A and B are shown apart, each in its own frame.
Chain A
Amino acid sequence: MSQTNQHIPGATSLALDRAIELLAQGVQYLLLIILALTMLVPFAWMVSTSLKTEEYVLRFDLIPQPASLDSYRELFDIMPMGRVFLNSLFVTVTGTVGQVLFSAMAAYAFARMQWKGRGVVFSIYLATMMVPFQVVVIPQFVLVSKLGWVNSYQALILPSLFSAFATFLLRQAFLTIPRDLEEAAIMDGANHLTIFWRVMVPLSKPVLATLTVFSFMSMWNSYLWPLFVARQEKYMTLPVALATLQGNNQSLTQWNLVMAGAVITLLPILIVYLFAQKWFVQGAVISGIKG
């Protein structure tokens, strides 16, 4: 018997070892499948309910019969869903691009530039990372209110454009890039902008991709801030609009409409996630970011 097979001391035969191994594998698979199903069944339920017509909403069949897109049609009738969706898209894309870009630029200033006060300013960045959102959200609201920005795109986008955390991570990433590439570029007459754009950015793709996905996710799903700052239908984003669908004892809750709204809210972020999946897990590992 070679030493390379997983020999459990005391077992009498190879076949028994194999059997136990297969059993263990089977159990693991079973557990994984059960857990994965637990994760996914609620979503399946959501999609299924969204495709049901009103009378069948309260039944438990998974495959709706008849299946219909009526819920979606009705949803677009009672709410300006198109507008709301575009609001979410506009705010999220602008905010994400802005956040990642500004943070990368600041990271470059910290990682690759020498200037007086750099240490102090960086400590300020680090300090702000400790401040929890509930402390900041109140004065931010006061600020936005007094500026007359309630119900506006500025209110939705501007406060999220600045992330100390993203800057911190990107600085770390930039620091790990070897200098010779830059030196070569300088020899060729490149200035800061060129180095930033053609050297630092391309070489930090995993971290940039991860930050982009997290930023996108966070802004797309943002609920508390838009709830109080963008109530007008003109500026409403998907989570807030979805929450208003919920209704209470005052109005009639139609679950198929609510689920249709939920599907519309979830689809884009799932697509983004699937796309960036590769870098995402890698990046999440490197940085251990909380979404």
Chain B
Amino acid sequence: MSRKLLVLGLVFVLLVGLMPAASSAQEVITLRYMSFTGGGDRADEVDAIIAAFEEENPTINIEPANAPFGDYFTMLQADFVGGDPPDVFELNYENFVAYAANDVLLDLTPYVDPTIPYYPRALGAFQYEGKQFALPETFSTVLLFYNKELFDQAGIDYPAPDWTWDDTLEAALKIRALGDDIWGIYSPIQFWEFYKRAAQNGCAFFNEDQTEALVNAPECVEALEVMVGLMESGAMPTPAEQAGISDSELFLNGQLGMVVTGIWWFPAYQEATFDWDVQLEPGMKQKAYHFFSNGIAVAKNTEYPEEAALWAQFMTSSETAVSVRLAADWELPTLDRPDLFASYLEQTPPDNREAVFASLEEPVPPPVIARQSEMQDIFDELLNAVIAGELDPATALDMAKEEIDLLLK
């Protein structure tokens, strides 16, 4: 009798002992998270945010992976095609449309906490056909970077927020005159720069319902002419004159007076041996500034939609996420929280970090269509022909319109 009891007792203990294990084994789920911003130095920051999330949500385990930007989208695509995509992943604004259009993203509308102060424009950027298919994670902009010492040498005032491109050209020519190896300005002549300049001149890329491209309107042509004018004046190097040295390299070498480039270069430009600062870009008829945004989306067929959406929300809006980002000077969260940005503004160089937020007043997001790569390639080709002097801006934009209209069908 006692033997039976002993056995029963053991069995009971075993069952009791196994049960929590069994139930917790059922409860802890693993989500795969893929990004293109979380590599290299940033991996530690991602891990910190994940740790905070896992502490708040002990039943969820996040497995991060990263790929460099250049390869990220081909890899993400491959994962989707192979039927095994990550549960949660980063998307930039330009690629968002294609993924949403192909119906592979989870509609996050039912999962999002409406009290989170996302910038309305940023939220809107990641909606498709009225549904929220991704949450805005970070934003970045483009500013005018300038070399204070070169400006001093040329005896001209630093760029002001109300400058036009004419003012800029004047300054650029004076700096160019400082030496054979010194250039006044670099502002790339390609798709990304063009649509913003067009917006600065009041020209819209597409019509209201995106069935027609309007890129050959007179305002757009004028914008392109101003862009090319910088190069034709001699203040900006032609590709052959640049001979493969990048604009950033030229700037860091002290050979470039002004460069229009993204705020993601802040960390790299810390290495400069001269004083530099940033300013809002010049405008034409009006001001318009680049608005680039990354978002986080969830795969439509994920096994754990609720948990995945929870993580997406955490990564984009939690206190931890925001503070980690700002402390590491790692892109800016798309949240309307001026209190949080105080620390960011205090870091130098550059001194004029307020310009980053000022540029949010007149943002112009990239024009995006489903056949994005083709559109960009078309533009690059035609713009390169303009740079080479083979096509004049008006003809080039006429040709662009024709081809893009075909892509829109």
Distance in angstroms from A84 CB to nearest chain B CB is 14
| CB of A151 within 8 Å of the partner chain | yes
Q: Is the CB of A252 within 8 A of B82?
A: no
A30 to B75, CA, bound (A): 52
- Is A146 close to B, CB under 8 A? yes
> With contacts A145-B81, A148-B82, A149-B82 known, is A232 near B75, CB below 8 A?
yes
For A, the interface residue count at a CB cutoff of 8 angstroms equals 19
B67 adjacent to A231 (CB under 8 Å): yes
Which stretch in B56-64, B108-116, B240-248, B365-373 binds the other chain? B240-248
Residue A251 lies at the interface, judged by CB distance under 8 Å to chain B: yes
A251 neighbours in B (Cβ, 8 Å): 246, 248
The residue from A148, A228, A232, A247 contacting B67, defined by CB atoms under 8 A apart: A232
Judge if A250 is at the interface, Cβ distance under 8 Å: yes
Return the chain A residue nearest B247 by Cβ. A249
Which B residues touch A249, using CB under 8 A? 188, 246-247
Given A145-B81, A253-B244, also A151-B75 (CB < 8 A): yes
- Contact yes or no, B75 A252, CB < 8 A: no
Contact B246 A252 (CB under 8 A): yes
The smallest beta-carbon distance between B69 and chain A, in angstroms, is 9
Structural contact, B246 and A148, CB atoms closer than 8 A = no
Please tell me if B130 contacts chain A, counting CB pairs below 8 Å. no
Closest Cβ of chain B: how far from A52's Cβ, in Å?
17
Query: Which residues of B have CB within 8 Å of A140?
Result: none
Query: Is the beta-carbon distance between A231 and B74 smaller than 8 angstroms?
Result: yes
- B352 smallest CB distance to A (angstroms): 24
* B82 to A, closest residue via Cβ: A148
| CA distance in complex: A250, B188 (Å) | 11
Which chain B residues lie closer than 8 Å to A250 at the CB level? 246
Answer yes or no: B249 CB below 8 A from chain A CBs.
yes
Complex interface bits, B38-57 against A, C-beta within 8 A gives 1, otherwise 0: 00000000000000000000
A123 within 8 A of B: no
Give Cα A228 to B74, complex, Å.
Answer: 8
Q: How far is the CA of A149 from the CA of B81 in the complex (A)?
A: 10
Closest to A231 in B: B71
Kindly report which residue of chain B lies nearest to residue A145, judged by CB atoms.
B81
Task: Give Cα A147 to B82, complex, Å.
Answer: 6
B17 interfacial contact with A, CB 8 Å: no
Nearest A residue (CB) for B246: A249
Nearest-neighbour CB distance to chain A for B375, whole angstroms, equals 19
Residues of B within 8 A of A146 (CB): 81-83
CB of A49 to closest CB in B, whole Å: 14
Q: Does A244 contact B (CB under 8 A)?
A: yes
- What is the bound-complex CA distance between A145 and B79, given in angstroms? 8
Whether A104 is near chain B, meaning CB under 8 Å from some CB there, is no
Do A150 and B78 form a contact, CB below 8 Å, given A231-B71, A249-B246, A250-B246? yes
Nearest CB of A to B251, in Å: 11
CB-CB under 8 A from A228, the residues of chain B are: 74
* Cβ of B70 under 8 Å from chain A: yes
In the complex, whether B84 has a CB less than 8 A from a CB of chain A is yes
Write out the residue numbers on chain B whose beta carbons fall within 8 Å of the beta carbon of A147. Answer: 82
Q: How far is the CB of B82 from chain A (nearest CB, A)?
A: 3
Q: Which residues of A contact B82 (CB under 8 A)?
A: 145-150
Shortest CB distance B140–A (Å): 14
Contacts of A231 in B (CB 8 A): 67, 71, 74-75, 78
Residues in A227-254 with C-beta less than 8 Å from chain B: 228, 231-233, 244, 247-253
Closest chain A CB from B8 CB (angstroms)? 49
Interface pair A244/B70, CB less than 8 Å apart: yes
A182 to B321, CA, bound (A): 75
Known A-B contacts A251-B246, A252-B246, A252-B248; A148 and B83 likewise in contact (beta carbons under 8 Å): yes
Q: Is the CB of A252 within 8 A of B249?
A: yes
Type the 1/0 row for A213-229, where 1 means its CB is closer than 8 Å to any CB of B: 00000000000000010
Complex CA gap A264/B246 in Å reads 25
What CA separation (Å) do A251 and B247 show in the bound complex?
9
B84 to chain A: which residues have CB within 8 Å? 148
Are B78 and A151 interface neighbours, CB within 8 A?
yes
In Å, the complex CA distance between A244 and B71 comes to 10
- Least CB distance from A64 to B in Å reads 20
Residues on B with beta carbons closer than 8 Å to the beta carbon of A252: 246, 248-249
Q: How far is the CB of A75 from chain B (nearest CB, A)?
A: 16
Residues A142-164 near B (CB distance < 8 A): 145-151
Complex: A146 Cα to B84 Cα, angstroms: 10
18 A-B contact pairs sorted by A residue (CB < 8 Å):
A145-B82, A146-B82, A146-B83, A147-B82, A148-B83, A149-B82, A150-B75, A151-B75, A228-B74, A231-B67, A231-B78, A233-B67, A244-B70, A250-B246, A251-B248, A252-B246, A252-B249, A253-B244
Q: Which residues of B contact A (CB under 8 A)?
A: 67-68, 70-71, 74-75, 78-79, 81-84, 188, 244, 246-249
- Closest 6 pairs between A and B when the two form their complex, measured CB to CB: A148-B82, A150-B78, A231-B71, A145-B81, A249-B246, A252-B249
